[in-house]
Amino acid sequence: MERTPATLADGRQIIWYDADGTHRVPSVDRRPLEPAVVMSQMRHDPLTGEWIAVSSARQNRTYMPPADECPLCPSRDGRMSEIPSPEYQVVAFENRFPSFATHIEGVETRSDWFDQVRPATGRCEVLCFTSDHDSTFAALTPAQARLVVDAWADRTADLNELGVVKHVFPFENRGIEIGVTLQHPHGQIYGYPFIPPRAKTELLNAADYRAGYGHNMFEHIIAFEQAGPRVVASNEEWIAFVPFAARWPVEVHLYPLRRALDLSELDDAQREAFALIYLDILRRFDAMYDSRLPYIAGWQQAPAPDPGDEIATALRDEAWLHLELTSIRRGPEKLKYLAGSESGQGAFVADILAEPLAQRLRELA
């Protein structure tokens, strides 16, 4: 992989990722943009103990432009986009409308129990999987998918080195049903200034399991699912299964059989094998109905290394990288909405058992 960094007109970072032998020369962003100013803040919820990010700039982000005005397509034919080059393979850049940023202006820290406010320091990036506006991740070749994995790994390593980032979360939202505002094949990477609730809950449960049973919980989950009826696909390095207590209408988790804390720790064999099994699973998703399945794909990784934080270090010791892939579609014309129990109490009621869902996905090979 070749890595070519540059700076956009308003000071944001951009990085091209290309196959070896490309030898890219960084392009110059000639748009007349003002320097990026971010004023996001975090507010503490005393009821849950969680931090809520507030970013009013996101109200002004681009929403579903036509293909010839897409900001994620290459810059060509006289039109300038977020990527100042006439072509690209994979590219990452700082989000123009971020929830978190490394430099926050105009936000004062307040620490009263019911009035806790902090600058939303962190990082938000966009990762474009291909320059082809009409493609999807599922349509990538294994080599293209592997390049995306390498970019994810590189961004994880870089963001873990930022002192303001405590947890790195690469993810993809696909489909207007999910709330996507740009149709171009892309994902995002959030560098949170805290360990987010889902990751923290999983890792705390893993720590409790270690205390009670003396083993890594994720390793035992893999062994449990390998012996059960919920495996959808596997290869020499990865297993994909519908989890026993799946909460979404379609849900598949992908685990490396050899432990890695985060994407940057995956070796060549693991990266190659992931590209193959992930493309397989996504294509099964798209074969379920007549239209493409909307989904969220999110990587669960270890917290960023922080020797001064005993809790983060303890949680990191239990981590096992995995991808959680979920869809809200429960039928050809039906979506699962988070109604009273799910939204009001976070108590999910699933619409289908995991075993028949796994069987159906196996049949869609």
**Residues at the annotated binding site?**
70, 73, 133, 184
322 annotated active-site: no
- What is the side-by-side order of every strand in the sheet holding 186-192? 2-7, 13-18, 90-94, 123-128, 186-192, 167-174, 295-300, 322-327, 250-256, 238-241, 231-234
List C-alpha distances in Å: 119 to 107, 116, 159, 337: 5, 11, 18, 32
Instruction: Give the residue numbers of the binding site for Zn(2+).
Output: 70, 73, 133, 184
CA distances from 69 to 128, 173, 274 (A): 16, 20, 33
Q: Give, in degrees to the nearest 5, the angle at Cα 160 between 154 and 162.
A: 115
What's the CA gap between 200 and 312, in Å, rounded?
Answer: 9
Beta bridge mates, 202? none
Helix pair 197-213, 310-318: axis angle to 10 deg:
70
Token reading at 225: 């699912």
**Looking at 167, 186, 253, 322, which residue is catalytic?**
186
Burial of 85 (0-12, 13-18, 19+ CB in 10 A): buried
> Which residues face 252 on adjacent strands?
325
Cα–Cα distance for residue pair 7/129, rounded to 1 Å: 20
**What does each C-alpha distance from 266 to 144, 226, 296, 300 come to in angstroms?**
17, 21, 22, 14
Rounded-to-integer distance, Cα 301 and Cα 316, Å = 9
- Catalytically active residues are 186
